[in-house]
Amino acid sequence: MDSYNNSAEIINVSYKDISFETNIANLIKFVILLIFQLLSICCSLFLFFHLITKPKLHRSLRNHTIITLVIISFFQTISDLPLTLEYLRIGQASSSVFCLLWNFFALSNYAVGVWVMTWASLERHFLIFHAGLMNTTRRKIFFHYIPLFISLFIPWMYYIVMIFFYPCTNTFYLSALFCGWCCYAYNDALVMFNWLMYGVLPVCLITILNLWLIIRVVLQKRHVQQQINWRQHRRMTVQLLSVSCLYIFFDEPAVIIGIIRLGVPTFAVDIQILYLYYIVYFLPLLVPFVCLANFRELWNKNRVQVNPLMPLTRTHTVRRTGIVKPTTCVAQTSKV
């Protein structure tokens, strides 16, 4: 979530000098984020209800990573975002425990989400072009569940160690955004590793893998159009691209700023503190809406289709597909 800073002095200066933060600006951010938070929670709960009550949705392998992203986004919306809203409401953090939890939820949730999205981008290549890799239970465990498990728990475990057990003494600035970060951020090597591992690398991989997926789909469709179900694969591709575009759009600015800071350490510090750290919250807030739009099974229910070329009759029979099919009326002729 954070861009790379190449010295502890820059971290101190950038987070101590918050004179450009105003109460009106904080109030506007608070109201906007609160509105989107409530809408996002409602959308997530709607999705969870249908995912639980419709086994076909949560049993499909291609939906597992997307469902996981919805869960991560929902957890970030109810764990990290409320702490940020409280900071915006009162203008400072309430305690050191507040600061520790704020740092942990902000960094770990972001890292988990971006790496699950990275795995989803790679796995979609397997599901479309190498479906045989997951045709047995053992292969599903090895190529599907284990990588997803690693993407989920490794970042959380890493930040548990860094934030709660790293051998240093935290000095928090309660009036600063994220309380000025935890003390491990004064170690330039660790900050560089975090930036590369949970910023540059996953964002670049998401971009490359999705571009590669588009190219492969277009090329393969031209050569083996009759051998593959392209309608289904198109849905799988669009489902992934719609979510990955959110990650690319909201994450790449911070990565670009971090790269520029390698040469200009103070580049866009005020812009990042004032805007970018808050704009990134729209990523988990919008993920449920994008995923809901991609679950066509929820939108096709009870849809009735009528062929306008068919003559209307008194009675119609409705099949399970939802297509209304007219019945034919046979006129009885009397014998003369």
Please name the residue that has the structure tokens 């728990």. 153
Helix axis angle for 23-53 and 282-294, nearest 10°, is: 30
Beta bridge partners of 128: none
Residue 325 one-letter amino acid = K
CB atoms inside a 10 Å sphere around CB 321:
10
CA-CA distance, 128 to 65, in Å (whole number)? 15
CA-CA distance, 211 to 89, in Å (whole number)? 41
Residue 335, judged by CB atoms within 10 A of its CB (0-12, 13-18, 19+), counts as exposed
CA-CA distance, 97 to 83, in Å (whole number)? 11
CA-CA distance, 73 to 79, in Å (whole number)? 10
**Pure H helices in 137-229:** 137-140, 146-160, 188-195, 201-223
Q: What is the pLDDT of residue 134?
A: 81
CA-CA distance, 125 to 120, in Å (whole number)? 9
CB atoms inside a 10 Å sphere around CB 17:
13
CA-CA distance, 70 to 67, in Å (whole number)? 5
Helix axis angle for 61-90 and 146-160, nearest 10°, is: 20
Cα-Cα-Cα-Cα dihedral sign, residues 30, 36, 42, 48 = negative
- For the chain (length 336 residues), average pLDDT per consecutive 10? 45 46 86 97 94 83 90 95 94 92 95 95 88 84 92 94 93 89 90 93 94 86 59 77 92 90 84 85 95 79 45 44 46 43
User: Which residues have C-beta within 8 Å of that of residue 228, sequence separation ≥ 6?
Assistant: 220, 221
For 299, list phi and psi in degrees, rounded to 5.
Answer: -95, -20
Q: What is the pLDDT of residue 261?
A: 86
CB atoms inside a 10 Å sphere around CB 11:
19
CA-CA distance, 158 to 30, in Å (whole number)? 30
Q: What is the pLDDT of residue 272?
A: 80
What is the distance in angstroms between the CA of the first residue and the CA of the last residue of the chain? 89
CB atoms inside a 10 Å sphere around CB 193:
13
Do β-strands 305-306 and 316-318 pair in parallel, antiparallel, or remain unpaired? unpaired
Torsion, CA 199, CA 36, CA 26, CA 194, rounded to 10: -10
Q: What is the pLDDT of residue 224?
A: 60
Supply the CATH classification number for the domain 8-302: 1.20.1070.10
Torsion, CA 54, CA 59, CA 61, CA 63, rounded to 10: 20
Residue 317 one-letter amino acid = T
pTM: 0.81
Residue 31 one-letter amino acid = V
What's the CA angle centered on 6, arms 177 and 161, to 5 degrees? 65
For 105, list phi and psi in degrees, rounded to 5.
Answer: -65, -40
